[in-house]
Amino acid sequence: MFKTLRPLILASESPRRKSLLLSAGVEFKVHPSRIDESVWPGELAEAGKSPAEMAERWACLKANSISPLHADSWIFGADTIVVLDGRIFGKPSDCAEAVRMLNALSGRVHEVITGMCLIQPGGKLRRRGSVTTQVRFKNLSMEEIDAYVRTAEPMDKAGGYGIQGIGALLVRSIEGSYTNVVGLPLCQALEWLMNENIIEQE
């Protein structure tokens, strides 16, 4: 579907982002970043940053961290977070935290935000932005939450669920990009790459 014209590096180890880009025919190499994605204590309140700005910042940190290693390539970074009442939910550290996250999301509408960053060869920031999707969970019983956590699916996903897997059973509705909830707003990502002549339609 797309032909890749310039060297492109994905600064993420997410198998879901990789799969989404490959599904469109984009050719790239993967070089995961190892930055600390934890929220610094009080960072949101002290700096006045919105969750979307935080997601964008983390995406740019990922891309910038590997850019010096690939001077001739474009670097694409992304970071997805789940936000409920201004609180950021990352990946659960253990099963107990996954249960707490899912219990908090039960019956509520939350936001899934993916920050994106594109750096051109030489290390200059070219594009930065984010996409937000509203997700409504059904009311979950503790039995449903415990059963889902036992599948181990929540453990490597922001917010403790994967909409592309068994976690779809928890979601009543969404408003916005579905692939954003998976981990990458594919439509906007492809538009960025086309606008910079990194890819073209075949």
Q: What is the Cα–Cα distance from 113 to 132, expressed in whole angstroms?
A: 4
Task: Classify 147 as helix, strand or coil.
Answer: helix
The verdict on whether 79 is a catalytic residue reads yes
Name the phi and psi angles at 106, rounded to 5: -55, 125
Choose, from 79, 85, 146, 156, the residue flagged as catalytic. 79
| CA dihedral of residues 88, 157, 54, 123 (deg, nearest 10) | 170
Q: What is the Cα–Cα distance from 106 to 133, expressed in whole angstroms?
A: 17
Q: What is the Cα–Cα distance from 25 to 34, expressed in whole angstroms?
A: 26
E-only strand ranges, 26-140? 29-30, 74-84, 87-89, 109-119, 125-137
β pairing state of 8-10 and 29-30? parallel
**What's the burial of 38, exposed, middle or buried (CB within 10 Å: 0-12/13-18/19+)?**
exposed
Task: Classify 4 as helix, strand or coil.
Answer: strand
Q: Are 126 and 75 in contact (CB under 8 A)?
A: no
Q: Looking at the annotation, which residues are catalytic?
A: 79
